[in-house]
Amino acid sequence: MNATVASSVDEAIRDLRDHFGDTSVTVLCGDVGGTWVRIDNVALGGVWTQPTTFVIVHLATTLPFADIYPVFVRSDLTRADGRALQTPVTPGHQAGPAGAQVAAVQVSRKTRGDASRQSAGQKVTKVIEWLRAQP
Amino acid sequence: MTTWKLYIRGDHWRRLDDHLYGSPGEHGAVLLCGTAPGGDHQRLLVHEVHVAEDGTDYTYVDGVYRLGGAFVTRQALRARAEQLVYIAVHPHGGYDSVEFSGIDLRSQHNSTKPLLAASGNDRVGWLVTAPAAANGIVRTKDGEEPITGVVVLDEQRRALRTPRPVRSTSGSIEARFDRQALIYGDDGQRLAAGATVAIIGLGGGGAMLNDMLSSLGVGHLVHVDPETIDITNLPRLIGATRWDALEPFANWLPEKARDRLARSKVSVAKRVARRNNPNIRITTVRREANSRPAIEALISCDYIFLAADTARARLLVNAISAQFLIPMTQIGAKVRVDDDGVVKDVYSVSRVAGRTAGCLWCNGLISTTRLAEEAVSARQRADQQYVQGVANPSVKSLNAIGAAWAVEDFRDWFTGLGSAGQLYTTAHPQAPRVTSSTPRHDADCPFCCGVLGRGVSSPLVGIA
């Protein structure tokens, strides 16, 4: 039985490296359901105080059919205008594999429609661009 | 000796049939097939149909019809590229019996080695058809293996085979099935006895399916469920006793211990099935559907019933259905309750797939968000504040509606009586109304087009 399920996750990791640069993407840990991946030095700006953030996502073994959701960013994310974070951007979460989790802000942006039509890099880019464009 | 059956979906069959019989004269085609293990036979699964154009790809030379060299080469190379088996097909006269001619056999003998080399496969085959029969051969470099029949998966399931089976005589069916054999005949009962049917999820709906299918006389059931019986399951699980759930010990045995020590759902299902049919064969997989033992059991089935409500199970079974040409029915029941506890809607569904184009993915019935949610741990899901651990309201009578509808449809389809079709049926008992719709189909669906009939030559998504 040909069971190269991990190849879909590998492909997603390669795509993230294509989008964000080889050295920025770190594979944290795999588990039964997928693999945690961290991307560093992702540019922010816009309404956010911090110029950059990390991004942590879980890549499910059921990619490309599973959504990449939610996306986690730095835990100290704040708005330059001092306003509180609002749903779908929520503080006080934990991201990453069990035993190595970090505090994080969760960005809950689901993909509308067929998630398999976008790559991992496209999905993460879309979420970050949405974050940057917040009023 | 290895024997084969060829499985073909209805839309492919209609295209082939139309080409072979739609105009005067003899016509030819090539089928490119995936393979899969079966019960008592191996399976060829049609992934592509390539018709040979008369006069160019299929010519009449020196009193003999033959496929043109360029066409054969093109299809053999495609078989190599896609890791599929090349099967040439043409029609003969006759109706319910068909054989290769001497010319056919000589041509096969001469072509085997070059075709094996060109297609890069260890097997090539030939099929000859008549309107109600089919006969074929798969050749390897060392010998030959018969294709004993063709199974057409369509609105109505058809089997073409040679030699034509002797009609049964009454009295050869077990007495316990006598009343139902009156509905679909001894042949239909015999078909049910020869069927291998999987049930994924032996909760309320699955237990209903198990009871009905084993009572129907299905010869081999495959049960897939990792869970044990819980006290809250007892009102809905046919055949489950309070001792199975360790209810008499509830006051002093901790819940975790009860959960570990209680009887498994597959064990209860086996007991019920054997009670209904002592001669039934049961394959038990006390694992998740996407575990290797479950998948190995599922890909040899003739039909799959999905009664487990996770997006992962739907994705996996949808993939297996398309990739291994195994029709499926998904059942479910829902009681929608608002925040004040008021029942807003009650319905039971039965959704058929795999007989024609159009699958659960095409119809948006596999949630990409739920796939992501189910991939992380329960603790992570809680942190992400997904609604979880809230049991769905559930009742036996509601489960029975979807299950009965599904089994009735399966029985009619599998025994050749003819079903209502590949439909999504929803019953709203409170309304009361029943609605049916024909599922849509995406021309570029990765499942019912992309991996259709690829069998073991393609990886399967979502294996643990």
Predicted ipTM? 0.93
Kindly state the tokens that stand for B403: 């299950």
- Contacts of residue B379 in chain A, CB cutoff 8 Å? 98
Tokens describing residue B2: 């290895």
pLDDT in tens, B327-381: 999 999 988 888 888 888 899 999 999 999 899 999 999 999 999 999 998 888 8
Q: What does pTM read for this prediction?
A: 0.91
How many Cβ atoms are within 10 Å of B307's Cβ, its own excluded? 28
Q: Which residues in chain B have Cβ-Cβ distances shorter than 8 Å to A116?
A: 368, 446
Query: What is the spatial distance between Cα B174 and Cα B193, in angstroms, rounded to a whole number?
Result: 10
Do A96 and A29 form a contact (C-beta atoms < 8 A)?
A: yes
| Burial call B105-116: b when 16+ CB within 10 Å, e when fewer | eebbeebbeebb
Q: Does residue B386 carry a pLDDT above 60?
A: no
Query: Which helix or strand (DSSP H or E) is residue A124 part of?
Result: helix A120-132
* Per-10-residue mean pLDDT, chain A, length 135: 60 95 90 91 93 96 94 96 93 92 95 91 96 92
Q: Which residue of A has its CA nearest to B463?
A: A5
- For residue A94, what is the nearest residue in chain B, using CA coordinates? B383
What integer is the mean pLDDT of B178-199? 82
Q: Is A94's CB within 8 Å of B374's CB? A: no
Residue of A nearest to B455 (CA): A1
First to last CA, chain B: 34
Q: Are B242 and B248 in contact (CB under 8 A)?
A: yes
Tell me the C-alpha to C-alpha distance, in Å, between residue B74 and each of B181, B325, B367, B432. 49, 25, 40, 57
Measured at the CA of B45, the angle between CA B223 and CA B56, to 5 degrees, comes to: 170
Hey, what are B37's tokens?
């293990």
Q: What is the pLDDT of residue B64?
A: 86
Which residue in the set B296, B459, B464 is minimally distant from A32, CB to CB? B464
Residue B420 has pLDDT above 80, yes or no: no
Please give the torsion angle defined by the CA atoms of residues B175, B176, B182 and B187, in that order, rounded to the nearest 10 degrees.
Answer: -70
Instruction: Please count the residues of chain B.
Output: 464
Q: Which residue has the tokens 């043409």?
A: B90
What percent of chain B has pLDDT above 70?
A: 95
Chain B positions touching A12 (Cβ under 8 A) are none
Cα–Cα dist B37/B49, whole Å: 21
pLDDT at position B168: 46
Q: Is the pLDDT of residue B296 over 50?
A: yes
Chain B residues whose CB is inside 8 A of the A58 CB are 372, 375-376, 380
* Closest C-alpha to B362, from A7, A67, A61, A65: A65
Q: Which residues have C-beta within 8 Å of that of residue B165, sequence separation ≥ 6?
A: none
DSSP-assigned letters across all residues of A63-81: TTTS----EEEETT--BTT
* Model confidence band, residue B172 (pLDDT cutoffs 50, 70, 90): low
Quick one: pLDDT at residue A3?
A: 36
Is the Cα torsion angle B50, B54, B59, B60 positive or negative in sign?
Answer: positive
pLDDT of B164 reads 54
Residues of B in contact with A5 (CB under 8 A): 459-463
* Calpha distance B64→B105 (Å, rounded): 13
pLDDT digits (tens, 9 = 90+) for B50-76: 999 999 999 988 888 899 999 999 999
Strand pairing report for A102-107 and A71-74: antiparallel
Considering only the beta carbons, identify the residue of B375, B379, B457 that sits closest to A62.
B375
Name, in order, each residue with C-beta under 8 angstroms of B352's C-beta and a sequence gap of 6 or more: B327, B328, B329, B409, B419, B421, B422, B423, B424
Interface A-B, measured as beta-carbon pairs within 8 A, has a size of: 85
